Structure 1
């Protein structure tokens, strides 16, 4: 054990002459190195905190302002218009200061105040500039003169070399949309889904709500938007995620896959050694704020708030609600392998363990033949079952002794690692390999991932990897950002030897991983088994299909002057109609990170325009291809406009959600809001972003592409579809549904998506054949 290894360096004996103290020179050396590293880390964080605090200025600019003020004074010019004299008279006179020193101090204070005022003004101007969103609504490739001027101003006030959190105080607040716009857009969104009778009923409910309850709720919501940093995010995290009492496995957690075609090494321990080291490098940059902020157009900053809780974070179960526990830097992770839990130290002598040293640690665990302790094998199933039994068991059985110490080790770890005993990954020669890979990452065996951790890194015996992520603390693009960095660092910076091992020598004197100890009574083992059975029933019901669409990709879609996302969403509507015979309420997530602490908004992809196109495609006798293509253009334009509205804070669903929460706080009963919030999303979709960091040139390395990720079905009789546009020639779909639903079939839906994509492309092909430019 690591603790025992360190303890042998400190010994004492009591003698008649007193206490004889023996200190190991090696231990003292490591104590010294650890202390130096700790203070160096604090100094770097302090320095970066100052740089972020004064951004877009720099600390050196303070000196420039002070020198400028002093220079004007020596030239007998008073730029302060008497304020320096006022400050001088206000300051208490010290007998140790000369008149000249007193004046210099007053001038320095004035210069400092002027400098801070200029910083505040620059931030205010930048916030005002970032509140301008007309650029999003301009046609692709056509930029107005107004937007060009705006871009230059944003660049000018953005300063140089921003750190990760430099723009946080300059980001605008998420605005509360007007009631009129929200209700009108809502009615417009449900019109293609309702017959005249039901639509008229909904219209009456909406009108009554707008006249009676809505004005009071809106006033309180606007008041909250003035006070809170973001009027949506805290309630979204609490009520959508943390207050849910059903299992988070499948229902909430999501997964991210490894590289699709490339496996850098087939040695399990070596691959994990490199990847864990890359994660530690990313964490160090993240904690110091040294990562570059993500910026649209390379200029417009995105909020980085969600990234703060990526590491050292755990969802803690509660009886009524969970909480997200985020800690400062932690120096260990916990590894699960064949029913045993091990604590692995990530630092030695004040530095990160090298990849080769981490490989040695993980290989030691793989070679360990010890048996799980009673109740340990399926212990993690507690995090996969219902939240209340887990919260009760945690309070009763894990509140003291070895159980508390071991649970603390898991919950305070940097992240959780599973050394899986199976092989998974995409294999073109194996049927359903992508399906099995997805199911393994999403739920595994229901007891071999710690679903409460911010993320669980899963490593398979063939060297493939993946991540299972808890959803409450952040959204998928945040995890994707880290994952892109890790995979690129693993493959192109760290690398492997010819034998597939991590590069570099390993310190043989490292302490071995410490096996966590448990004393789990029979009653607790029964709770664990019950949670496992609940989770297993959910997992067995998940019908997954991974669909690699390689007929064409982003390149061809852009040639048709259509947004790739709009193209795919309309294809999904066509596939849904062919699969189910009707249309349904469709959820597509979009980000709102152009606003401070923004998370997501909903784009309601099923529109009157898209349904008109779908009906035209299915009407083989009456509609010509030219008419279909015209309807497709209208549907794509409508979708793009809705996506832009969602990104700029003018969406429908978050506003209605917050009005509903406010109605509960004010004890106001609203039939309209109840109806809106109870509507099922039978088709839930999301696009996985790629190339957020551009660390890999896909033109040079086309096979180094990720497979994206996915999530479980949202409705019992519906589909969950996640897709990633990979490079120019590939789109990967991750489709989920439930076996228990006789109406759905994930493989069938995948085939319908493929056919819909090809049918839409055929419209453009036909236009080209007729000699008409696209």
Structure 2
């Protein structure tokens, strides 16, 4: 094989005349260039470590402090108040060299003073980042304290990606009484009178007996750990789950809705892979700007970026493990039942997009058939975790299978070259969007590697998408990566007129390497595939763009777009199921170090009161008043969740402590077993500087979605795109006769339009038109 020949740097043979040594200068040159690249990365990381280690000061500030101290000493003044003299007494230097000793003492004192100033600045920055009152102030009414705080926060120098990490505050442990009060308030609209009384008694009994004991242990952990929630959340919610992660945990992201930059599959793969590796380079060099709360200067924790690439979830009998390696110089590729290792660097140089396209085309043109047992091997990652763990130990712990599995797991990421066409196309664009979502969520159950941190799917018609594993990070982190990838692909890398990648090709590149397997016939692959197929066939996905209006119309009403959508979902669910349910909305806690998510319980007393009033035919003015109360309540719940005063993560950690102590709590057991029949999440657009939707309105992101959390519930993901559009992803299970994703999608659309009509009564004059005001507006937008 070509790559094997190039890997040999020298050869020697023993002859009667002696040793005949033959050097391959090309191979030696590649080794040298790879080493140079490796050392450049090390130097860059060391430099970044110094810069972020002294943030918010700068390394050059040390020189300023030294010069200032020496200048004052030259003027025969002692700025150290005798400390320099004491340092001189302890230096192991000859007393005859008095001038040199004085200089060294001044340098030591200056360095200590500089470090003290850094610690003081960092402490002040942590205090500034711990201030969250700005979030609770009314729009347009900013207090003097907040104005001064913002000016101070903006006065720092340009930070690196991880510069704020050590200055972020730790997640606080809420008072147990406050958590229980908010919990009882959240379940009040879902319980009858006797049920609520019983739950109140359980909560009071828990608080007066076991609760305070568990709380003490939790506060002790909060003092010791960086984040008292995140490690337990990752382990017990994700890694210890023994059910399939496909559909149940993994989620997906889609391509542009209207645009496919090229119809050439290999070219789209070339640009996509290049853009992802450019993002990895930015992460490694910490050149990405720290992510901030949208519309503010407030930084968010960047810890989740560390495991974005070169990461795999490996199965175990009791718990899985996240494994992360140093940068890989290859990606793993799947095509028609074959696995390949594709090297994306050569002699320390990242291949250009045209060269990666060339290599991908070689894979597409490769006529070799799959080896026995190879084609559906990926089904092991889609089924139950215990059989996969046992298979891994039995068949993948040594030999050729281990080497090939290592190549997949150590790869930067996984790429599937799908032989299907997807996207909003043909005579049934709505149905094709649904099939597109299902394809990204589970595919054929064996043509993705669900254990990888993320897998890229490139379809035959040039459409793309990704499937992400959930344990290592949450959706906003992956969305940030995906936004960069799509924008870089379309607006920076670009394509030639005939749809190919730009650049020149070195045709001497070694062929992509086929991974070899020795898979016995009596394996667990068939069983895992059957479990995964049954799960996939049960998922009902519906994706639809809501074009009637967007956040532009909503914000004119002085209402939070997220609150508007969440209350609309409550109205839609009430119409769909005839009642209310426990509702999960994901909120981030990345204002705190290593923060992940918190739950906003969107079904509140106020939202239920509004829905009942609207459906009960009460007056429009009363309904509008109740809606605004519900919107204000929702915004306050969201703020509480973001600032560490949520309900569910606190109760979850108390439950974990109770299990460690071996004590049972009827209250916690009941709370943790309550089903989330409506699970919702908003996908934010975070990099608006990359997406100019005004000048490029066709480059609209479809966002992404996830599977249903409850067997009899809905999963709803939405992305607010620009001013005039909201994209929804709805999922449920066919096995439940009470749910229907398409029916619920219709209810969502109608609820949005009905609430807007309620809040803008002047549009009712147009109601004589059979299409209605919202649909009339839709025609204007289209």
- Please classify the TM superposition score into its range, dividing by the shorter chain length: over 0.9
What TM-score do you get using the length of structure 1 for normalisation?
0.97
1:129 matched residue in structure 2: 128
2:152 matched residue in structure 1: 153
Q: Distance in 1 between matches of 2:59 and 2:504?
A: 42
2:165 matched residue in structure 1: 168
Q: Distance in 1 between matches of 2:720 and 2:332?
A: 34
Q: Distance in 1 between matches of 2:2 and 2:71?
A: 61
Confirm or deny: 8 A CA contact 2:8 2:27 kept in the other structure: no
2:771 matched residue in structure 1: none
Say if 2:651 is the partner of 1:656.
Answer: yes
What TM-score do you get using the length of structure 2 for normalisation?
0.96
Confirm or deny: 8 A CA contact 1:316 1:325 kept in the other structure: yes
What do residues 611-650 of structure 1 show as CA deviations (whole Å, max 9, x unaligned)? Answer: 1111111112xx1111111110000000000000000000
- CA drift of 1:726 comes to 0.7
- CA drift of 1:669 comes to 1.0
Moved more, 23-32 or 6-15: 6-15
Structure 1: unaligned runs, 5 residues or longer: none
Report 1:494-643 matches (<5 A). Answer: 494-524=493-523, 527-620=524-617, 623-643=618-638
Confirm or deny: 8 A CA contact 2:266 2:360 kept in the other structure: yes
Report 1:290-309 matches (<5 A). Answer: 290-296=287-293, 297-309=295-307
Report 1:620-769 matches (<5 A). Answer: 620=617, 623-692=618-687, 694-766=689-761
Report 1:61-72 matches (<5 A). Answer: 61-72=61-72
Confirm or deny: 8 A CA contact 1:294 1:692 kept in the other structure: no
What do residues 530-554 of structure 1 show as CA deviations (whole Å, max 9, x unaligned)? Answer: 0000000000000010121100001
**Partner SS state of residue 684, structure 1:** strand
- CA drift of 1:8 comes to 4.8
Report 1:326-365 matches (<5 A). Answer: 326-365=324-363
- CA drift of 1:426 comes to 2.0
Moved more, 694-703 or 326-335: 694-703
Confirm or deny: 8 A CA contact 2:171 2:592 kept in the other structure: yes
- CA drift of 1:428 comes to 7.2
**Partner SS state of residue 760, structure 2:** helix
1:109 matched residue in structure 2: 108
CA 1:434 to 1:644, structure 2 compared with 1: closer, same or farther past 3 Å? same
**Partner SS state of residue 580, structure 2:** coil
**Partner SS state of residue 509, structure 1:** coil
2:191 equivalent among 182, 189, 194: 194
1:29 matched residue in structure 2: 29
1:204 matched residue in structure 2: 201
1:289 matched residue in structure 2: 286
1:14 matched residue in structure 2: 14
What do residues 315-363 of structure 1 show as CA deviations (whole Å, max 9, x unaligned)? Answer: 0000000000011111111100000000000101211010000000100
Say if 2:421 is the partner of 1:426.
Answer: no
- CA drift of 1:517 comes to 0.2
CA 1:759 to 1:245, structure 2 compared with 1: closer, same or farther past 3 Å? same
Q: Distance in 1 between matches of 2:719 and 2:756?
A: 18
- CA drift of 1:295 comes to 1.8
1:184 matched residue in structure 2: 181
Confirm or deny: 8 A CA contact 1:2 1:513 kept in the other structure: no
CA 1:401 to 1:3, structure 2 compared with 1: closer, same or farther past 3 Å? farther
Moved more, 698-707 or 233-242: 698-707
CA 1:671 to 1:366, structure 2 compared with 1: closer, same or farther past 3 Å? same
Moved >4 Å (runs of 4+): 767-770
Q: Distance in 2 between matches of 1:608 and 1:507?
A: 66
Confirm or deny: 8 A CA contact 1:5 1:511 kept in the other structure: no
What number of residue pairs does the alignment pair up? 764
Confirm or deny: 8 A CA contact 2:757 2:764 kept in the other structure: no
Q: Distance in 1 between matches of 2:525 and 2:404?
A: 16
Q: Distance in 1 between matches of 2:649 and 2:7?
A: 54
Confirm or deny: 8 A CA contact 1:2 1:514 kept in the other structure: no
**Partner SS state of residue 355, structure 2:** helix
Q: Distance in 2 between matches of 1:193 and 1:20?
A: 85
Confirm or deny: 8 A CA contact 2:3 2:511 kept in the other structure: no
**Partner SS state of residue 547, structure 1:** strand
1:415 matched residue in structure 2: 413
- CA drift of 1:668 comes to 1.6
What do residues 130-171 of structure 1 show as CA deviations (whole Å, max 9, x unaligned)? Answer: 111000011223322211011112223xx2110000000000
What do residues 273-329 of structure 1 show as CA deviations (whole Å, max 9, x unaligned)? Answer: 011111111101101211110122442110000010000000000000000001111
2:778 matched residue in structure 1: none
Structure 2: unaligned runs, 5 residues or longer: 766-782
What do residues 387-427 of structure 1 show as CA deviations (whole Å, max 9, x unaligned)? Answer: 00000000000011100000000010000000000000123
